[in-house]
Amino acid sequence: MRHPANPHPHRKFWYRLHKIFLFILASVTTFILVLALYLFWPRPLSPYAESFTLIAHRGVSQTFPLDNLENDTCTAEIIYPPTHPYLENTILSIQAAFDYGADIVEIDVHPTTDNQLAVFHDWTVDCRTNNQGITHEQNMATLKQLDIGYGYTADGGQTFPFRGKGIGLMPTFNEVMEAFPDRRFLVDQKDTFEKTVKLLAESLLKHSPQQRRNIHLFSTENRYAIAKATVPELQKLFPTRKEAKACIPQYLSMVFSGEISKVCGQYALGIPSKLLPYVPGWPGLLLTRAQEANLKVYVGFAEKVN
């Protein structure tokens, strides 16, 4: 009895399909390996950066563990054992930061009921001070009476090394401007009020155009525009979160091309240090391409420093 010329045609089909699948798998794997090697292969930064800009977050401050932080975590209650006497967002801590070599100091501002700007980080005064209440619902005279070192402890509340040492140390924004007329600041608006940026603009108008050019505002695009309409010299150092998210594809393509659009390249790229191991091309490739694209890159370090 004769056998058919091709008794199992389906086997040949599946054999070809299997070969196609293996070819695609090998191609994709090779592409991923080549891409990974390109992005993560250690390489020197060329050309080397000629200078660095140091931004001091809240001046010289007490540090704390960064793990498992929530929006309502009272960080004053979990500080490391103090190695210096400074409390964040004070004239003394700002001066210390500049003395240590900071180029820019970041400070936080809240409006007060008597139309001033208090330099303080927290939404409420509960965590750090000897009082309670929402920060922007206080007048400046009341805030000046608070002990801003009251809540700091490194041993779970057994001792409070800064109690009694922070009375009257919460400054106004205008006091900071008067104390440091030729220094650069990054002002972080901690609320969502138009009132805050209007007060900021009014305060800046009291100072020289050169001093106004030394101020960078971190806020939303709309509130930044409100302040800049009154103070044209006001600058923005970093994009808003919305702007940065929109520019992520451009940041990634820049790693290959060394080019970036004017919109995404007009402000600096900020990267928290804990994310650096996951940043494609860090450090040599990304920084080299950023230099080619004339994009400034800032790295945020918040670890304990002895």
Per-residue pLDDT of the chain (306 residues; tens, 9 = 90+): 555 555 566 677 777 777 788 888 888 888 788 767 667 776 666 555 666 789 999 999 999 998 888 888 999 999 999 999 999 999 999 999 999 999 999 999 999 999 999 999 999 999 999 999 999 999 999 999 999 999 999 999 999 999 999 999 999 999 999 999 999 999 999 999 999 999 999 999 999 999 999 999 999 999 999 999 999 999 999 998 889 889 999 998 998 888 999 999 999 998 888 888 888 888 888 888 898 899 999 988 754 443
- The reported pTM is 0.83
Total H helices, total E strands in the chain: 10, 7
User: Is the separation of the CB atoms in 69 and 45 below 8 Å?
Assistant: no
CA–CA separation, 108 and 17 (whole Å): 62
Rg (CA), the chain: 27
The whole-angstrom separation of Cα 199 and Cα 179 is 19
Looking at residue 124, what DSSP letter applies? B
Selection from 213, 218, 219, 243 nearest residue 231 by Cα: 213
Backbone phi and psi for residue 106, each to the nearest 5 degrees, phi listed first = -90, 130
pLDDT at 304: 45
Secondary structure (DSSP) of 69-89: --TT--GGGGPPPPSS---TT
- Tell me what pLDDT residue 285 has: 87
The residue assigned the tokens 């994709």 is 28
Cα 264 versus chain centre, distance: 17
Of 189, 186, 238, 173, the C-alpha closest to 215 is: 186
Calculate the alpha carbon distances from 76 to 88, 125, 146, 150 in Å: 11, 11, 15, 9
β-strand partners of 108: 188
Helix pair 194-204, 221-230: axis angle to 10 deg: 30
Q: Please tell me the distance from the alpha carbon of residue 58 to that of residue 257, in angstroms, as a whole number.
A: 36
Report the pLDDT value the prediction gives residue 32, as an integer from 0 to 100.
80
Comparing CA positions, the residue from 196, 76, 199 lying closest to residue 146 is 76
- Residue 53's pLDDT is 86
